[in-house]
Amino acid sequence: MEFCFVDNNTPLDRRSQSLVRSHAMKGKNLGRTIRARGRRGRQRQLDNESGFSQTEVNQEDLSATESGRKLLPKISNPRSSNALEVRRPATSPQNNLQGSEMLYFVTPKQFNASSRYLFYECYNVIFQSLYPRIFCRELDEAKISFFEMMIGNPSVFHCALGMTGVHLTRYLGHRDPSPESIRHFTEAMRLLRRELSSKSEPQDSSLAVIASLAIHADFTHSTNECRIHLQGLKHMIDLRPGGFPGLCLRIPEVGNKIRRVDLDLALMVGSSTLLGSQPSPLPPTVYVAPINSPGSQKALPFPLYRTSEAFQTIIRDTMTLCDYAGRAQLGAFQYQNILLSIFQRLVDFSPLNGPRPLLELDDICQLGFLAFINTLVNYQPQMRSICPPLLSEMLEARILVFSKNTAPIGAQHDPHLCLWLIFIYAISAPDFGTCCDEKSPIAQSIYALAVMLTLKEWEDVHVRLSEYPWISEFHDEMGRRLWKSITCL
């Protein structure tokens, strides 16, 4: 463990060693110790842990030879592998130098121990959540683009570290941001204000920082603050040549951030997107065929082909995206573009607080597919609820009515579709534990459908669910837990 009041890049003096020992004796480091670097540092650490050194030893531990010369007590060789193996604390981190490779680069601000760790988490953990390996095998284009922008601009540097701290805080279950995140956000806003006042045209880095601030406001459910940031972004983008399509073409990672926060705000308040649902251009890729190519289309399952023609296009693109999982190697920006394009068209098809579609099938399928896409976009429920409350409440109300009118194959209310809708609702619901309760209406509806369709094992249920959009790596774990609670009835 590294301490903020000790410079870990230099040898520890006597005062620093005393502070560390005092800190450890009070139990503030939960038993962790500083693992010193190098042979001499390892020797010094072993001496500190054992309570003596080669220059200072307790008098009662000393023995004398016949000539009166004092000898050190007999101990095992601290350089031996056995001694190191015994003395190494069990709670030490696997790699206490995480992010140390950043020390080789010139950054806007010198890394300390905490900011180095934040960068390591942002560069690895968060990238894996944004670009899952089941879809994206190559993350170099996204990582290099982010790295170049981060080390090239101080405001982006501080904003990225602040956002990483917010992600980690949410992941650990804490509501309030850490002091480190607040410090980075404050510095980022100060630099952003200076940059906007000194330059006539907004720079790419300014757009990236404002988009991150809007995402942070979305995390904290500050709707008004998020809307203000987003409206300011739209005004700044309109002043630039090429507008929003030109921004997505030049720096797609910033364009995707803006599209993402626009979608989150639209779902939160139930409105249409501010930027619209037109597809954004991207550089051509050689990984897979375009999503709308004739070879990628297939027949829709019953009764999805009875939806409106405009909605059938969204359904086909969603099912094609599911076919890519584990089978095709998408580029990082291409995956985000496909996902957000489907997401935008679903939101703008019928805003949640606006007039609902005339066809009942369009109505419930739009809500179900929105919940499904949310499980892909927000598949870390530790950070926040997967599905916004408004969407979850509307889908639950439609499902309870839809499930009561299910009939055998041939009717409009197909039990197979109803089963998929209920599972997607439960997986995306903010209160997944309540859905797993055997006395809940959701559990009762699944049990009734299982009896109607003679489903006895999870494998049988999985076959039925796979007829509709379903990705095993995202949905199987929670789906199996839900089914296990149903089998107890």
pLDDT tens per residue, range 216-239: 888 888 899 999 999 999 998 888
Which pair of tokens denotes residue 323?
Answer: 């076919």
Task: Report whether pLDDT(83) > 50.
Answer: no
**How far is the CA of 398 from the CAs of 180, 388, 404, 442, in angstroms?**
44, 16, 10, 12
Q: Which pLDDT score is estimated for 230?
A: 92
Confidence label for 174 from pLDDT (cuts 50, 70 and 90): confident
pLDDT tens per residue, range 314-325: 999 999 889 888
> Full-prediction pTM beyond 0.75?
no
Q: Which residue has the higher pLDDT, 278 or 376?
A: 376
User: Which residues in 105-154 belong to E strands, given as ranges?
Assistant: 136-138
- Residues facing residue 71 across a β-bridge: 63
Average pLDDT for 373-400: 81
Task: Report whether pLDDT(471) > 90.
Answer: yes
What is the maximum span of the chain, computed from C-alpha positions, in angstroms?
105
Q: Which pLDDT score is estimated for 198?
A: 81
Average pLDDT for 153-181: 79
Closest CA to 301 of 82, 467, 470: 467
How many Å apart are CA 256 and CA 254, to the nearest integer? 5
Confidence label for 480 from pLDDT (cuts 50, 70 and 90): very high
**How far is the CA of 156 from the CAs of 107, 191, 197, 405, in angstroms?**
11, 9, 17, 53
pLDDT tens per residue, range 123-135: 666 677 778 888 8
Task: Report whether pLDDT(358) > 70.
Answer: yes
Q: Report whether 149 contacts 209 (CB < 8 A).
A: no
Task: Report whether pLDDT(10) > 50.
Answer: yes
**How far is the CA of 87 from the CAs of 46, 72, 80, 234, 414, in angstroms?**
7, 20, 11, 58, 65
Give, in degrees to the nearest 5, the angle at Cα 170 between 169 and 172: 65
Task: Report whether pLDDT(185) > 50.
Answer: yes
Q: Report whether 263 contacts 255 (CB < 8 A).
A: no
Dihedral, 91, 94, 97, 102 alpha carbons, nearest 10: -140
Mean pLDDT score of the chain = 75
Q: Report whether 155 contacts 206 (CB < 8 A).
A: yes
Give, in degrees to the nearest 5, the angle at Cα 328 between 283 and 422: 110
Which pair of tokens denotes residue 196?
Answer: 């906007």
Task: Report whether pLDDT(394) > 70.
Answer: yes
Give me the DSSP letters along 391-405.
HHHHHHHHHHHHHHT
Confidence label for 395 from pLDDT (cuts 50, 70 and 90): very high
Confidence label for 26 from pLDDT (cuts 50, 70 and 90): low
Closest CA to 167 of 130, 211, 112: 130
Instruction: Out of 99-103, 175-179, 246-250, 331-335, pick the least confident.
Output: 99-103
Task: Report whether pLDDT(156) > 50.
Answer: yes
Task: Report whether pLDDT(56) > 70.
Answer: no
Task: Report whether pLDDT(428) > 70.
Answer: yes
How many Å apart are CA 268 and CA 260, to the nearest integer? 12
Confidence label for 47 from pLDDT (cuts 50, 70 and 90): low
How many Å apart are CA 197 and CA 119, to the nearest integer? 28
